[in-house]
Chain A
Amino acid sequence: MNVRSVRGAVAVAASLCALVAVAACDVQSGSDTADSGASASPVAAKSLKVGWSTIYLTPSWMQQTLKMLESDVSKLRSAGKVSSFKTFNANGDTSQQISQIRAMIQQKYDVILVDAGSSTALNPALEQAEAAGITVVAFDSLPTTTKVIRVGTDQKKWGSMTATWLAKKLNGKGSIIAMNGPAGVAVSEDRWAGAAAVFKKYPGIKIVSNVHSEYNLAPAAQAFASAYSAHPDIDGVFSQGGALSAAALQTLVKQDKKLVPITGENYNGFLKQWQAEKKNGFSSFSTAQPNYLSVIALEAAVAAREGVSVPQDVTVPLPEITDDNLSAYVKTDQPDDSYPITDLPQAEIDKLIGK
C-alpha cells in the first residue's frame, strides 16, 4: 500500500512536470498572441501571418528553399507586409501535413504556403483553408485542386526536354537506362510520362532498364550499379534528378567505363563532376527545379492579398544547362549537396505573378 502511494506521488509529480512544460510553451505562445494583438491594430492591419507546411525539410534542396524564403520574408517584414513566418515539417507523413494545415486554419493564418507530400490527399484541407478566407499558394510539389494558386514548373516538359536532348545526342538509336524517382510519386511519374512520350517517337532507342530510387545519392548509386551490371553496353542514361545523375556518372567513372551522355539537374555534385569529365568527352543537358519557386509563391500570396489577380497556375520556365553554359552554373567552392541557382530578378517575378 505504501509503495503504491509513493508511485502515486511520482505520477502526480510527473503530471505536474508535464503541466509546467506546457506552461513553458505557453510563454512562447504568449509572445505570439502579443504579436497578433499588435497586428490587429489598424496600422499593421495589412501585415500577414504566414505559414509554410512542407512534406520534408531535411533535404538540402528544401534547406536552400527555406533560406531563400526567409530572406524574402525579412524583406517583406521590413516593408510591413508580413508580420510572422513559421515553418512546419511533416517529415514525410502526409497525414501529419493535413494536421498542420488544419492547425493553421484554426490559428487563423492569413497565408499558407505548401509543398505537398501528395498531389491529391491535401485537396480537402487546402480547399477548407481557402473557404476560411486564407490565401493558399502551393509550390514545387503541387496538389491537383484548382482552388489554390500553384507555382511550379512543367514536370512533363522537364522529362520531354531532357529526353529529346538525349535522343538527338544518340542520333535516335541505342540502349539506355532510365533513372526515375520513387514509384507512385506524382513528380516522378510526370517527368517520366514526358520522357516516355519522346522515346516512343524514337523506335531505335531501347530502354533496357527502368530504375526507381529515392532522389538521394546512396540509394540511387545502388540502384544504378545493379542495373548497369546487368546492362553494361548502354549508350546513354535518362535521369530525372541530379543525385540520380551524379550516382550514374560516379559509377561510370569509378569503374573506368565509357562515359555515355547522362541527362541531369542543377545538383552541384553532378555539375562539378560534369565539368571535371568534360575533357574526357562527357556531355550532359540539365535543367532545374529552381529554389526561388518559394519566393515566387510568397510574392504571389502577398500580391493576391493586395488585390492583384494572380493567375491560378504560375508556370516558371525551366532553366537549361548545357555543355556551353555549364561554367556559369557550377560552383566549385560549394558543397556537392547544394543547388547552384541565383535569385530571380524581381521584375521577372512580377511578370510571372501578373503584377
Chain B
Amino acid sequence: MRERITSLTRSNTDLVWLVALLLVLLVAYQHYDSTLFTPASVTILSAQFLPLILAAAGQTTVMLLGGIDLSLGAVLGLAMAVFATYEAQGAGGVVTAAVLALGVAGATGAVNGALVAYAGLPPIVVTLAASFLWSGVTLVVLPQPGGHVPAGLVEAYNNGWYGVALPVVAITVVLAGWKLVRTTRHGLALYAVGGNEHGAYASGLHTRGVKIGGYALAGVFTGLAGIGLAIQTGSADPTIGTPYTLNSIAACVLGGISFFGGVGRMRGTVLGALLIGLLTNLLLFTGISPFYQLIVQGVILVVALALKTYVTREATA
C-alpha cells in the first residue's frame, strides 16, 4: 500500500513538472505564432504530433514490460507502406487497408514478444534484428516513395473535418482505450510483469502470454502511428520511419517511463511527445542557425531530464 502511494506521488510530481514545462513552451510558442490556439493551428499541430505520440505510446507499452523496441521505426514504415499500397479507394477500401496495416504491425509485435518470452532473448537484440527484417520487407512492399491515400481523407485530416480536429479525436480515443486496457486484468498484468517478473509469475500470471500481448499491442500503436503518418503525408515512404525509433524513446523517458519496466504512465508519454514536438517547432521559429538548433534541442532535453530527476528524487529514494 505504502509503495503504491509513493509511486502515485512520484508519477504525479512527474506530471506536474511536465505540465509546467509544457506551459512555458506554449507561452513562448504563442509569442511567435499568435494563432496557436485557433482551431486551424490546433488541427495542423496535432496532425503533426500524432505519429510521434502514437509511436511513443507503442514504445511505452514495450518499456513498461522492461524492454525496448528498436524495430519501431521499421514497423511504422511497414504499416505505412501496407496502408498506402493497398487499394485505398473509397471508404470500404480505407478501412480494409487500415485493418490490414494494423494486423501486420500487431503481428510483428507479437513475433518480437514471442521471441523475448519463449526464446528468452534480450529485447534489444530481438528488436534490433527485427528492425533490419522489417525495413527489408517494407522495401519489398514499396520499393520507393509512393502509394495512395484518398485526397479527401488527407484534406480532412490535415485541415479539419467540419471544424473537428481528427488527430485530436484519434489521440483521445487511443488514450481512452489505453485507460480501459489498464483497468483490465491484462493491463494490470503488464505493469506487474514489467515491474517484477518473478513475483508476477509466482502469483500465477501467465507472464509469457502477457509479454506477447503487450508487444502485440505496442505493434498496433506503432501501426496506428504509421497510418497517421500516411494520412498526413498522403502517401508512404519506405525510409521515413527511422527517426521515430529514437524520438519515441526520448518521449517516453521524458514522460517518466522507466527503462527497468513497470513504472510510468501513458499520459506522461503523451506530454513527453508533445514537449518534443513543440520544442522542435519552437526552435524553427527562433531562427537560430540549424546546427545550433540541434545543440539547443539536445541541451534542453538533457537539462529537462536532469532537473526532473532531481526534483522527483526524493520520492524515488
Contact = CB atoms under 8 A, between A and B. Distances in A.
Interface of A: 3-4, 7-8, 10-11, 14-15, 18-19, 22, 25-26, 28-29, 32, 57, 86-89, 91-96, 98-100, 102-103, 106-107, 117-124, 128, 144, 182-186, 189
Interface in B236-294: 236-240, 242-244, 277, 280-281, 284-291, 293-294
B240 A28 contact: no
**Chain B: interface secondary structure?**
helix
Given A118-B240, A123-B234, A88 B284 contact: yes
A124 B33 contact: no
B237 A118 contact: yes
B288 A95 contact: no
Contact of A22 (B24, B44, B52, B287): B24
Nearest to A31: B287
B56 to A, nearest CB: 13
Interface stretch (B124-132, B143-151, B171-179, B203-211): B143-151
Interface residues of B, number: 58
A245 B289 CA distance: 33
7 contacts: A10-B310, A25-B28, A91-B290, A94-B237, A96-B243, A124-B233, A185-B144
Interface string B112-152: 00000000000000000000000000110011111100000
A28 B286 contact: yes
Nearest to A145: B234
Contacts of A26: 31
A22 to B, nearest CB: 4
B311 A94 contact: no
Given A28-B288, A184-B139, A91 B294 contact: yes
The 9 closest A-B pairs by CB, nearest first: A89-B290, A120-B235, A121-B233, A184-B238, A120-B145, A103-B284, A22-B28, A189-B144, A93-B243
B64 interface: no
Instruction: Give the one of A88, A91, A120 with max B CB within 10 A.
Output: A120
Interface string B32-53: 1101000001001000100110
B143 A189 contact: yes
A40 B47 CA distance: 32
Contact of B290 (A7, A19, A87, A98): A87
A110 to B, nearest CB: 16
Nearest to A116: B145
B287 A100 contact: no
Given A7-B313, A106-B33, 9 more contacts: A14-B303, A29-B285, A94-B237, A99-B280, A103-B285, A184-B139, A184-B145, A185-B239, A186-B145
A7 B314 contact: yes
B86 interface: no
A96 B24 contact: no
Contacts of A95: 48, 51-52, 229, 240, 243-244
A87 B239 CA distance: 24
